[in-house]
Structure 1
Amino acid sequence: MKNYTLLLSLLFVFGCAEKETDRYLFSYFKDNGQDGLHLAYSEDGLQWTAINKDASVLQPTVGNDKLMRDPCIILGGDNKYHMVWTVSWKEKGIGYASSTDLIHWSEQKFLPVMQHEAAARNCWAPELFYDEKSKEYILYWATTISGRFPETDALGDDGYNHRMYYTTTKDFVKFTDTKLFYDQGFNVIDANINKNHQGYLMFLKDETLLPNPQKNIRIATSKDLTGPYSAPSEPITSNWVEGPTSIKIKGEWIVYFDRYTNHKMGAVSSSDLIHWKDISDDIVFPEGTRHGSVLKVKKSTLNKILSQYDKVKK
């Protein structure tokens, strides 16, 4: 009996020793997104180190402009990583690819999600969220449809007047009809969805330029993934930022964003989603990082990536 107890104790100790520690991966683009996907990693969500010496790990192949801006990567219910991105400034679709290891990627596809809208000008900043309940993925993005919301046509940049749209899919082959996702009477872009115990959070950018520039990040909430989402909160960031992406680390929410006029990344943190602290001085990103998405990964997954590109382990 003593030997059996000792064996159980040893199994427990070694099991704890083998338990994986989470790491964090940040997908981003540089410059205009023409060279493709960049990756960085972190152990604490604050200090970020470039992978592959900050060179691209995936070249864009779809779209007329062949860009890979605003990359968003999530882990799906099929244990695959799914990525979407902005392929062009003026096309009516987005890019898509999948991977089992974040190293080898499937053939890239162009998803024509707004092809049915003759007056659609663009499809920007797409993101994904996997709904464990319905086993579906929601794919959402910002589009300007000329003349669709005339009351705010003159309040943005160069006639752009975005609203959020979405579609759902189980397999990235068949998609539901595109629907309006978020419209609260203002120009909105760069939505990022996360889940908390009360429902769903949508971090979004108020893209209003006139009469008083906003260009800040706010929060909308919903009990259901597909909405309706609430009116936006007061800004949680300063103005002239974009591309929010969010994660919860050790009980603290962190929202990263692109301070694009200063050519630096920024971040705010909160434990209650009400009181926010600017922690931009506490974070370090590779020089030239533009916005993307943050993802929690297993230590073993990160080690395989680092072994592939940097010949090291963390």
Structure 2
Amino acid sequence: MRALLSRAVAVLFAAGLLFALPQPAAALDPFTGYLMAHFTGESSTAQQIHLAHSKDGLRWTDLNNGGPVLQSNVGTRGVRDPALVRSPAGDRYWIIATDLCIGCGQDWSTSINNGSRNLVVWESTDLVTWSAPWLLNVAGAIPDGRNAWAPEAIWNPATGDYVLYWATNVPLNGATKHRIYSARTSNFRTITTPQPYITRPGSQEIIDTQIVEVPAGVGGYRYVRTSGDGQITIEGSNSILGTWTTLGNLSGIGLTGAQVEGPMWVRFNTGTSWALYLDQYASGRGYMPVLTGNPSSPSAYQLAASGSYAMGGTKKRHGAILNLTAAEETRVLNRWPSTSTINRIQSYNFQDRYVRHSNYDVRIDANVSPLADSQFRVVPGLTGSGTVSFQSVNFPGHYLRHYSYDFQLAADDGSATFAGDATFRQVAGLANSAWTSLQSYNFPDRYIRHSNYLLRLDPITDATGRADATFRITT
């Protein structure tokens, strides 16, 4: 009998039907910084994996000069809503994201009703060298499951594996709506049969939810989750897969699910407080932090003062934050440095004048004051490689873009139209090949030029136009 039992156990392990026994988490080195994975908008490059770094969890710097660090070449070839997962031992990492690229051959109606049932997954042992992405089918086993959105994962010490959870649109019990499903996994390549995890009454959908573990002595629950379900609902539990208790919402500080989504937790490395970042999707402004010393108490949340945080140059949309050890932080910053180079754009035929913004209009002026109005960072083009965009230094997230062939400084709204209007090719200067001309990405027969000192996007047909369309990018 003992031999038969041993053989049976061996067969079960070979079939992958037994999960590892619960293992305690390793003691990681002290945390010294923060890494945010996010997407930035609706263009093809915006719907990829972008990274930002912070030393205090509130002031963020874009890595890789704001360009994507990982790009999906599987599924829809776009990703949104990335989750960052570290193994308990700290020796393995995963990025898990929604397989979705709006405007890249897919619209919202299709993605809701007949979207990808897969998630996109990358794996790494060092946070900087990542595997090729693979597709993980999570919704295919859900009867009439129509998509798979906004994945998250958390290590569950009670079972010794990860709880993976996401939203799927399902017609069930007379209501077609997004519900949260969950499954267990040890490697993000195979999962157990998906089970309903969170469902709201009636027609109320729930799409975004994220769980944070709370240390003993803070509040009455070991785990707190926040969800976008018409409100930002706060719930508590002592077991990830157990019963959850509704604790309240953030309407007391003026935030509802009609304004914000994509809750993203971070516990500060020093002190005993947290930030809950919320994506201001309704106003198109990306993430903002809400602060609390007790995640399980709705009355303890407060809006962060407007000058106490800075989100960097790109819009930060639904993502995840990982606290970094010093070794992890060093590797990440060495791999994807962020340039601090500040550029000015000098006119060729009026060399005492530089491109500047003034009340969001764009012109060339001499003796620019304040100087920062004429300072830009040349970043990878919002539409793709081989192009550039010009991001304002004193208005991060704002770019030079043409509109009806006039120029303005405008905030990136994440749209493909904005990305095209704010993207240019650097070519040899039309009046002097040692200088530079800037060809429009979406109107390649037109170039940036000044006319009566105002910037325009025009075809260039004569010597005056060639001189007006020639510039030098200076540091």
User: Normalised by the shorter chain, which TM-score bucket?
Assistant: 0.7 to 0.9
Aligned equivalents of 2:147, 2:53: Cα separation in 1: 31
Residue type at the aligned position of 1:195 = E
Query: Is 1:178 paired with 2:194?
Result: yes
| 2:154 paired residue number | 129
Aligned equivalents of 2:200, 2:77: Cα separation in 1: 32
| 1:6 paired residue number | none
The total of aligned residue pairs comes to 276
Query: Structure 1: where are the runs of 5+ without partners?
Result: 1-18, 154-160, 207-213
Aligned equivalents of 1:307, 1:228: Cα separation in 2: 43
**1:224-267 alpha-carbon deviations (Å, 9 max, x no partner):** 11122223622366131010111221211210011012222211
Q: SS in structure 1 opposite 2:245? A: coil
Instruction: Report the CA distance shift for 1:37/1:223 in structure 2 as closer, same or farther (over 3 A).
Output: same
Aligned equivalents of 2:182, 2:338: Cα separation in 1: 40
Aligned equivalents of 2:247, 2:338: Cα separation in 1: 45
Q: SS in structure 1 opposite 2:330? A: helix
The 8 Å contact of residues 31 and 323 in structure 2, kept in 1 or not, is answered as no
Higher RCO, 1 or 2 (CA under 8 Å, sep at least 6)?
A: 1
Instruction: Report the CA distance shift for 1:134/1:28 in structure 2 as closer, same or farther (over 3 A).
Output: same
RMSD (CA atoms): 2.0
Aligned equivalents of 2:137, 2:160: Cα separation in 1: 22
- 1:54: how far off? 0.7
Residue type at the aligned position of 2:81 = D
Q: SS in structure 2 opposite 1:224? A: coil
The 8 Å contact of residues 141 and 193 in structure 2, kept in 1 or not, is answered as no
| 2:280 paired residue number | 259
- 1:300: how far off? 2.2
Residue type at the aligned position of 1:40 = A
- 1:72: how far off? 0.5
Residue type at the aligned position of 1:101 = D
| 2:32 paired residue number | 22
Percent sequence identity is 26
Q: SS in structure 2 opposite 1:23? A: strand
| 1:150 paired residue number | 174
Identify the match of residue 199 of structure 1 among 210, 219, 222: 222
Residue type at the aligned position of 2:37 = S
Q: SS in structure 2 opposite 1:302? A: helix
Query: Is 1:269 paired with 2:291?
Result: yes
| 1:16 paired residue number | none
- 1:102: how far off? 1.8
- 1:180: how far off? 0.4
| 1:224 paired residue number | 239
Residue type at the aligned position of 1:238 = L
Runs of 4+ in 1 over 3 A off after TM superposition: none
Q: SS in structure 2 opposite 1:262? A: coil
- 1:294: how far off? 0.8
The 8 Å contact of residues 192 and 244 in structure 1, kept in 2 or not, is answered as yes
Matches within 5 A, 1:1-314: 21-32=31-42, 34-35=44-45, 36-63=48-75, 65-78=76-89, 79-88=91-100, 89=111, 90-146=115-171, 148-150=172-174, 153=176, 161-185=177-201, 186-196=204-214, 197=216, 198-206=221-229, 214=230, 216-231=231-246, 233-235=248-250, 238-239=255-256, 240-249=259-268, 250-264=271-285, 265-273=287-295, 274=297, 275-279=300-304, 281=306, 282-286=308-312, 287-310=314-337
The 8 Å contact of residues 181 and 227 in structure 1, kept in 2 or not, is answered as no
- 1:73: how far off? 0.5
Aligned equivalents of 1:253, 1:143: Cα separation in 2: 29
Instruction: Report the CA distance shift for 1:280/1:116 in structure 2 as closer, same or farther (over 3 A).
Output: farther
Instruction: Report the CA distance shift for 1:86/1:162 in structure 2 as closer, same or farther (over 3 A).
Output: same
The 8 Å contact of residues 32 and 69 in structure 1, kept in 2 or not, is answered as no
Residue type at the aligned position of 1:278 = L
Instruction: Report the CA distance shift for 1:41/1:61 in structure 2 as closer, same or farther (over 3 A).
Output: same
Q: SS in structure 2 opposite 1:61? A: coil
Instruction: Report the CA distance shift for 1:33/1:298 in structure 2 as closer, same or farther (over 3 A).
Output: farther
| 1:3 paired residue number | none
- 1:133: how far off? 4.1
The 8 Å contact of residues 62 and 338 in structure 2, kept in 1 or not, is answered as no
Aligned equivalents of 1:96, 1:27: Cα separation in 2: 13
Q: SS in structure 2 opposite 1:175? A: coil
**1:120-163 alpha-carbon deviations (Å, 9 max, x no partner):** 221110011112343201110011102x1435x5xxxxxxx211
Residue type at the aligned position of 1:228 = T
Q: SS in structure 2 opposite 1:70? A: strand
Aligned equivalents of 1:300, 1:195: Cα separation in 2: 23
Q: SS in structure 2 opposite 1:52? A: helix
The 8 Å contact of residues 267 and 280 in structure 1, kept in 2 or not, is answered as no
The 8 Å contact of residues 223 and 240 in structure 2, kept in 1 or not, is answered as yes
The 8 Å contact of residues 63 and 338 in structure 2, kept in 1 or not, is answered as no
**1:85-142 alpha-carbon deviations (Å, 9 max, x no partner):** 0002311121111111221111211111111234222111001111234320111001
Aligned equivalents of 1:174, 1:125: Cα separation in 2: 18
Q: Which moved more, 1:128-137 or 1:231-240?
A: 231-240
The structure whose Rg is larger is: 2
Aligned equivalents of 1:280, 1:137: Cα separation in 2: 36
Residue type at the aligned position of 2:317 = R
Query: Structure 2: where are the runs of 5+ without partners?
Result: 1-28, 101-110, 340-475
